[in-house]
Structure 1
């Protein structure tokens, strides 16, 4: 889906995905292409202990991989599919390689205990990023990897100084990126904690082209 949007925009630049865990150019070889993986056994640990850990849904992804333990019960969760083919069901047999990213929906009352469990059991092996908002969605990446990882890769590639980086975000997984950027902007619909650390806040939200509106006014285009 992201590649489809990339092609619709007729881009030809490197693209960063999975909270900074994957950097590549969809249409040609990029000499600085990279990815950080999660150990397959860790991913399967969450699958096999999902009930006791309070995990309702879990997906495992790579550049050309999408697996989920079960379909979502309703479309309100957005990211999680409501229909799955057998080949896309996440289990010990279907997950054959180390995934790049895990995305989980956990029971709200279990969210903090799950976060504590991951930190205690896997120490520095994993980076855990709650989304915040109405649903208890958590993303898990390789330890020490977040959106700043990707920004640094691109900034180095294009010789852009940190002070000249502008970043937009709305959820908790954008905090490091907002803090790192020379100018961090929170979306109008963003989490209060994200707005508190941002240099500015957009006038419009995600559903009303808030980012585009801000760029047009900020850069007078």
Structure 2
């Protein structure tokens, strides 16, 4: 069978509801890689909370973090790596105006580092629940231009924050609202979505769009699923994703839906 790019979202897709990989999923992805397919994680997660999953699967192919703003090969100096950055000015501006905007926590991330105005217990793993002194967000500590910012806001503040960001930084910043029960906004470079990282990887390996198969479940997967040659919504995906997908997995992420679909579609087992 022709070489495919297998673009996989993590949460709600490759991972079960405990944010874990099953043995079947690991085994299936390893077999796919062994057969010459390019398995690439394409996630909204920062690298710091996606690296262990990459290592567990045991792949050596490029990975996309921050919904397309970072594409790299972990543990390697890949000459085709890229980052699409925001500015320190934006982070420090939000920090100064956080009270009037209704911002509780600002987490600012580069590839290897992060800073925040405070630790929070609200979204375990995703937002830092403890900070070292040098990770406290300040003009003095913020050494890198950030790739992404995550803003936890008080209920009812979302529109006020989006308006403020758009008025001053709208030409290069795109606010995106998280799915699920959280009051969280993500700021990344305007026009940066998962599909840009997906196509960039496909180009490096000479893989045609028709041989890209992409899996996802949430709003931030929309562009990727829509653009892939075969966009596959998880059984547990939101209706918006199912409506634009080419197919839907018969099983959900709690029952190895992605692994079983790949086994059948690529005749892996």
1:12 corresponds to 2:60: yes
CA 201–42 in structure 1, closer or farther in 2 if over 3 Å, else same: same
Q: Tell me, in whole angstroms, the C-alpha distance in 2 between the residues paired with 1:155 and 1:31.
A: 16
Q: Tell me, in whole angstroms, the C-alpha distance in 1 between the residues paired with 2:184 and 2:251.
A: 24
1:137 corresponds to 2:137: no
| Alignment coverage as a number of residue pairs | 220
TM-score by length of 2: 0.74
Higher relative contact order by CA 8 Å / sep ≥ 6: 1 or 2?
A: 2
Hey, what does 2:32 align to over in structure 1? Answer: none
Q: Structure 1: where are the runs of 5+ without partners?
A: none
User: RMSD across aligned C-alpha pairs, in angstroms?
Assistant: 2.0
| Aligned partner of residue 124 in structure 1, secondary structure | coil
Q: Tell me, in whole angstroms, the C-alpha distance in 1 between the residues paired with 2:125 and 2:208.
A: 36
**Residue from 108, 116, 119 that aligns with 2:163:** 116
1:107 corresponds to 2:117: no
| Aligned partner of residue 118 in structure 2, secondary structure | coil
Q: Tell me, in whole angstroms, the C-alpha distance in 2 between the residues paired with 1:54 and 1:115.
A: 11
CA 77–107 in structure 1, closer or farther in 2 if over 3 Å, else same: farther
Hey, what does 1:200 align to over in structure 2? Answer: 247
CA 203–69 in structure 1, closer or farther in 2 if over 3 Å, else same: farther
Hey, what does 1:45 align to over in structure 2? Answer: 93
- 1:144-182 residue CA offsets vs partner (Å, 9 max, x unmatched): 222122112101101112222111222222221121112
Hey, what does 1:177 align to over in structure 2? Answer: 224
Q: Structure 2: where are the runs of 5+ without partners?
A: 1-48
CA 217–53 in structure 1, closer or farther in 2 if over 3 Å, else same: farther
CA 77–55 in structure 1, closer or farther in 2 if over 3 Å, else same: farther
